[in-house]
């Protein structure tokens, strides 16, 4: 019985040692990351080689033999923020990650969805766009989430992920009427023309459509799902990730990221 | 206070050293806990089922062989049955069943056959891939799982014979190899129709001896435009001609075709320099020139893709419309087609790239709209010809 306080103290001691090991490991990792190295030292070629698949407007595409789009402007802005020249390497979507692994490029900016299966080899930065599904509704009849749809009319593109999401919600809540269309633009037309209460479409389609009707239609947009786009860097080069992520964070905070997105979407 | 706590820590450390048995107990407990694994989910076959199919040519290619959990095989096959397809195409890799020359292990094949039979689904088995022991003479840097040297044709024939005999009455259609007209599938060698003919010859008689009702299906040719002499492969149409000239007609009972629509509608005209759904007609023309008219065709891979990033994809609405039109086209115009199998029901894990957009069901078993559309067609539940509403008018 007399040994019990000592036993408790021993358990506490073991816990403290374990905690100490965890904290020390974290500190060592942070100290490695925070070694002051300039971007020029981190990118050995004297430039940032950016892998991009220029077949996905408005993120990246070829116009008059020139690469243009959100990913191109974002790459240039990151280069400026780091004081480094950038060079875009255009390739097929399937080759992007292989080229990063094979050291043909330093980073990938190509509307890449964060892929959990690749995180053994790749570090993703913070997101720069969310291409998830959004509800588009009229200002006098705002529908903010799928749970509010009962008794309303929902328009969407037939066969798309919006269609799947609508079917899922039809099993969950009181019925709502569905209006499938061939294209997402037609679904938004239906809302604008009062033939449906909300359209469920991806955020890219929604923003592209609303650019056209920005002056005449005060549509309300609310996110329903997430599809996060991020920049990919090599996992074995955490310092590159750190500086690129920091540059992206700066662009986000000072509004330059929004300016780029608004230029194209 | 500091002195007190230091003394207390010292005492604790001494206590731990003196009572080393506690440390040992802690270690043993941790080791035992680490051995705890989730119990495998119990899978019961349940009563035998039947497929309610009003469109007997509807079929789907599955990817069951690499499933770890048996319940996922069963769930996949239930969804095939509920879709109204009475046939699947499935890969049965030779190395899985014969890991060494004198060892057979049929367990992974048996569970697929067992569940398919219970769901009332016929299986067309695609046999391929080569165990290491059957290609041991090849330098390991060069050797691939698709490399089958001529010297091993006899071993492959013995495997096909064993397979045909074991699954007679359950699996009566055997597809020999996959896409031998592209070099990757031919072990990164120059494709060789005469060599593939010898492979068919090595298996044909043995398979029929083991199961007199077996249907040996040749080809599963890849749709490609590669010209003669290309290191990547050879046009499926040209390859099929070479196959017949090499005398293959006697060694297969049906031809398997892979035909994808890519960005074109199923009605698009076929041509030698174009890849589209009706390319199957060009292959049929070759068959009619060289073979008996009764020899049937099985389309063992077909479909459209709706990935937003793939250059050969279409919109989701088009994918569904084209797929249904393709089924109707085959039903109305191709009496020689016995089955038309969509690639693919589901993958065991997501690829997170365009191949995911060939599937009918997500990895977590969420049926996509295209699944319901094929189900409505296959089971005769279609209410209207219009899949979507007309565009709103201002």
Q: What is the pLDDT of residues A54-66, one digit of tens each?
A: 989 999 999 999 9
One fold for both A41-129+229-264 and A133-223?
yes
Of the listed ranges A212-221, B39-48, B267-276, B341-350, the one predicted with least confidence: B39-48
Q: What is the pLDDT of residues A65-111, one digit of tens each?
A: 999 999 999 999 999 999 999 999 999 888 899 999 999 999 999 99
Query: What average pLDDT does this structure show over B344-373?
Result: 94
Query: What average pLDDT does this structure show over B257-274?
Result: 97
Kindly report the nearest CA distance between residue B368 and chain A, in angstroms. 6
Q: How many pairs of residues across A and B have Cβ atoms under 8 Å apart?
A: 102
The answer on pLDDT for B140 being more than 70 is no
Query: What average pLDDT does this structure show over B67-71?
Result: 93
Domain ranges for chain A: 41-129+229-264, 133-223
B310 at A interface, C-beta within 8 A: yes
Which residue of B369, B372, B394 is in closest CB contact with A193? B394
- Answer for the pair B62, B344: CB distance below 8 angstroms, yes or no: yes
What is the C-alpha separation between B93 and B262, in angstroms, rounded? 28
Kindly report the nearest CA distance between residue A2 and chain B, in angstroms. 12
DSSP state of B277: T
Kindly report the nearest CA distance between residue B321 and chain A, in angstroms. 9
The answer on pLDDT for A2 being more than 50 is no
| Residue of A3, A158, A208, A217 to mutate for B, most B C-beta atoms under 10 A | A158
Do the chains contact at A182 and B317, CB–CB below 8 Å? yes
Q: Which residues lie across from B188 on neighbouring strands?
A: none
Residues of A in contact with B13 (CB under 8 A): 10, 13
Give the residue carrying structure tokens 């977590």. B364
Of the listed ranges A37-46, A163-172, B308-317, B345-354, the one predicted with least confidence: A37-46
The answer on pLDDT for A42 being more than 50 is yes
* pLDDT recorded at residue A1: 45
- Tell me the ipTM for this assembly: 0.80
Residues of B in contact with A3 (CB under 8 A): 15, 19
The answer on pLDDT for B141 being more than 80 is no
| Beta-carbon contacts of residue A122 (< 8 Å; ≥ 6 apart) | A97, A100, A115, A232, A233, A234, A235
Q: A246-249 contacts: CB < 8 A, separation 24 or more?
A: A247/A77, A247/A78, A247/A81, A247/A82, A248/A74, A248/A78, A248/A125, A248/A126, A248/A128, A249/A126
- Answer for the pair B76, B345: CB distance below 8 angstroms, yes or no: yes
Query: What average pLDDT does this structure show over B77-91?
Result: 98
**Residue A57: half-sphere exposure toward Cβ, Cα within 13 Å:** 8
The answer on pLDDT for A257 being more than 60 is yes
| Beta-carbon contacts of residue B82 (< 8 Å; ≥ 6 apart) | B375
Helices (H), ranges, B19-57: 20-35
Task: Tell which CATH architecture fits domain A133-223.
Answer: 3-Layer(aba) Sandwich (3.40)
CATH classification number, A41-129+229-264, choose in 3.30.1540.10, 3.40.190.10, 3.20.20.210, 3.40.50.980: 3.40.190.10
| Residue of A3, A53, A159 to mutate for B, most B C-beta atoms under 10 A | A159
What is the C-alpha separation between B214 and B122, in angstroms, rounded? 13
What pTM does this model have? 0.84
Q: What is the CA radius of gyration of chain A?
A: 24
What is the C-alpha separation between A22 and A72, in angstroms, rounded? 40
What is the C-alpha separation between B173 and A236, in angstroms, rounded? 49
Q: At what angle do helices A256-264 and A70-82 cross, to 10 degrees?
A: 160
Per the structure block, which two tokens stand in for A147?
A: 């749970």
What is chain B's mean pLDDT, rounded? 93
Which candidate, A158, A265, A166, places its Cα nearest to that of A210? A265
Of the listed ranges A15-24, A25-34, A124-133, A256-265, the one predicted with least confidence: A25-34
Domains and CATH numbers, chain B: 58-378 (3.20.20.80)
Which candidate, A178, A180, A199, A203, places its Cα nearest to that of A189? A199
What is the C-alpha separation between B133 and A146, in angstroms, rounded? 57
- Answer for the pair B361, B367: CB distance below 8 angstroms, yes or no: yes
* pLDDT recorded at residue A12: 81
What is the C-alpha separation between A240 and A193, in angstroms, rounded? 49
Query: What average pLDDT does this structure show over A238-248?
Result: 96
Highest mean pLDDT among B250-259, B303-312, B374-383: B250-259
The answer on pLDDT for A259 being more than 70 is yes
Kindly report the nearest CA distance between residue A75 and chain B, in angstroms. 20
B338 at A interface, C-beta within 8 A: no
Query: What average pLDDT does this structure show over B249-273?
Result: 98
* pLDDT category of residue A36 using cuts at 50, 70 and 90: low
What is the C-alpha separation between A78 and A82, in angstroms, rounded? 6
- Answer for the pair B61, B94: CB distance below 8 angstroms, yes or no: no
- Residue A157, helix vs strand vs coil: strand
* pLDDT recorded at residue B310: 86
Which residue of A115, A160, A189 is in closest CB contact with B391? A189
* % residues pLDDT > 70 (chain A): 94
Query: What average pLDDT does this structure show over B275-282?
Result: 98
Which candidate, B161, B133, B158, B159, places its Cα nearest to that of B147? B133
Cis peptide before A37 (omega within 30 of 0): no
Per the structure block, which two tokens stand in for B97?
A: 């069943």
| Beta-carbon contacts of residue A248 (< 8 Å; ≥ 6 apart) | A74, A78, A125, A126, A128, A231, A257
Query: What average pLDDT does this structure show over B174-191?
Result: 94
What is the C-alpha separation between B15 and A6, in angstroms, rounded? 7
What is the C-alpha separation between B376 and B378, in angstroms, rounded? 6
* pLDDT category of residue B5 using cuts at 50, 70 and 90: low
Give the chain A residue whose CA is nearest to the CA of B312: A55
Query: What average pLDDT does this structure show over B77-89?
Result: 98
Extended beta strands in B227-360, E state: 254-260, 297-303, 337-343
* pLDDT category of residue A29 using cuts at 50, 70 and 90: low
The answer on pLDDT for B207 being more than 70 is yes
| Beta-carbon contacts of residue B100 (< 8 Å; ≥ 6 apart) | B131, B133
* pLDDT recorded at residue B131: 94
Residues of A in contact with B366 (CB under 8 A): 164, 168
Which candidate, A54, A97, A45, A91, places its Cα nearest to that of A72? A54
* pLDDT category of residue B391 using cuts at 50, 70 and 90: very high
* pLDDT recorded at residue A4: 62
Which residue of A7, A111, A193 is in closest CB contact with B392? A193
Highest mean pLDDT among A91-105, B327-341, B374-388: B327-341
B349 at A interface, C-beta within 8 A: yes
* pLDDT recorded at residue A26: 64
B137 compared with B365, residue with greater pLDDT: B365
* pLDDT recorded at residue A35: 54
The answer on pLDDT for B3 being more than 70 is no
CA dihedral of residues A33, A37, A39, A44 (deg, nearest 10): -100
B362 compared with B385, residue with greater pLDDT: B362
What is the C-alpha separation between B86 and B60, in angstroms, rounded? 9
* pLDDT category of residue B289 using cuts at 50, 70 and 90: very high
Extended beta strands in chain A, E state: 48-52, 55-56, 60-63, 66-68, 86-90, 107-113, 122-130, 133-137, 153-157, 177-181, 198-202, 220-223, 228-234
């Amino acid at each position: 019985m007399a040994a019990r306080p000592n036993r408790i103290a021993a358990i506490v001691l073991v816990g403290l040692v374990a905690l100490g090991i965890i904290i020390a490991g974290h500190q060592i990792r942070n100290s490695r990351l925070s070694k002051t190295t300039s971007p020029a030292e981190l990118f050995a070629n004297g430039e940032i080689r950016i892998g991009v698949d220029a077949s996905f407007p408005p993120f990246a595409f070829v116009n008059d033999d020139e690469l243009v789009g959100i990913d191109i402007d974002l790459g240039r802005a990151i280069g400026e923020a780091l004081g480094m020249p950038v060079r875009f390497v255009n390739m097929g979507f399937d080759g992007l990650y292989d080229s990063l692994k094979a050291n043909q490029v330093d980073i990938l900016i190509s509307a890449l969805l964060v892929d959990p299966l690749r995180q053994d080899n790749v570090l993703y930065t913070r997101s720069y766009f969310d291409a998830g599904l959004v509800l588009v509704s009229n200002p006098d009849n705002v529908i903010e989430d799928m749970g509010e749809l009962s008794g309303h009319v929902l328009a969407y593109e037939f066969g798309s992920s919006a269609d799947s999401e609508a079917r899922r919600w039809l099993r969950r809540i009181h019925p709502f009427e569905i209006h499938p269309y061939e294209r997402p633009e037609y679904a938004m037309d239906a809302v604008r023309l009062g033939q449906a209460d909300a359209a469920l479409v991806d955020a890219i389609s929604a923003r592209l459509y609303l650019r056209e009707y920005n002056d005449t239609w005060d549509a309300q947009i609310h996110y329903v799902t997430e599809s996060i786009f991020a920049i990919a860097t090599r996992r074995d080069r955490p310092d590159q990730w750190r500086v690129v992520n920091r540059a992206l964070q700066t662009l986000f905070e000072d509004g330059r990221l929004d300016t780029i997105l608004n230029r194209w979407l | 206070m500091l002195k007190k706590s230091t003394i207390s820590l010292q005492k604790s450390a001494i206590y731990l050293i003196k009572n080393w048995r506690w440390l040992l107990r802690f270690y043993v407990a941790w080791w035992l806990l680490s051995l705890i694994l989730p119990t495998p989910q119990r899978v019961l076959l349940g009563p035998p089922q039947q497929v309610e199919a009003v469109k007997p040519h509807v079929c789907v290619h599955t990817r069951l062989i690499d499933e770890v959990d048996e319940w996922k095989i069963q769930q996949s096959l239930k969804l095939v049955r509920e879709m109204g397809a009475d046939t699947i195409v499935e890969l049965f890799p030779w190395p899985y069943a014969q890991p060494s020359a004198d060892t057979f292990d049929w367990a992974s094949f048996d569970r697929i056959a067992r569940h398919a039979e219970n769901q009332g689904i016929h299986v067309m088995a695609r046999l391929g891939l080569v165990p290491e022991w059957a290609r041991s003479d090849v330098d390991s840097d060069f050797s691939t799982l698709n490399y089958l040297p001529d010297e091993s044709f006899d071993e492959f024939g013995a495997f096909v014979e064993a397979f045909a005999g074991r699954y007679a009455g359950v699996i009566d259609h055997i597809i020999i190899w996959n896409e031998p007209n592209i070099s990757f599938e031919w072990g990164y060698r120059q494709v060789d129709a005469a060599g593939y003919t010898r492979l068919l010859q090595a298996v044909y008689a043995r398979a029929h001896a083991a199961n007199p009702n077996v249907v040996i299906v040749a080809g599963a040719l890849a749709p490609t435009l590669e010209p003669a002499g290309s290191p990547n492969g050879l046009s499926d149409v040209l390859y099929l001609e070479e196959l017949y000239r090499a005398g293959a007609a006697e060694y297969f009972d049906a031809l398997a075709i892979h035909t994808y629509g890519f960005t074109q509608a199923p009605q698009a005209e076929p041509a030698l320099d174009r890849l589209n759904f009706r390319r199957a007609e060009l292959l049929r023309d070759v068959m009619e020139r060289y073979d008996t008219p009764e020899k049937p065709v099985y389309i063992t891979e077909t479909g459209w893709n709706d990935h937003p990033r793939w250059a050969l994809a279409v919109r989701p609405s088009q994918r569904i419309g084209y797929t249904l039109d393709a089924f109707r086209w085959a039903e109305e115009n191709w009496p020689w087609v016995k089955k038309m199998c969509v690639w693919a029901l589901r993958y065991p894990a997501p690829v997170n790239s365009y191949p995911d957009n060939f599937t009918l069901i997500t990895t977590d078993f969420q049926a996509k709209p295209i699944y319901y559309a094929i189900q409505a067609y296959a089971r005769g539940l279609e209410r209207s010809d219009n899949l979507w509403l007309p565009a709103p008018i201002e």
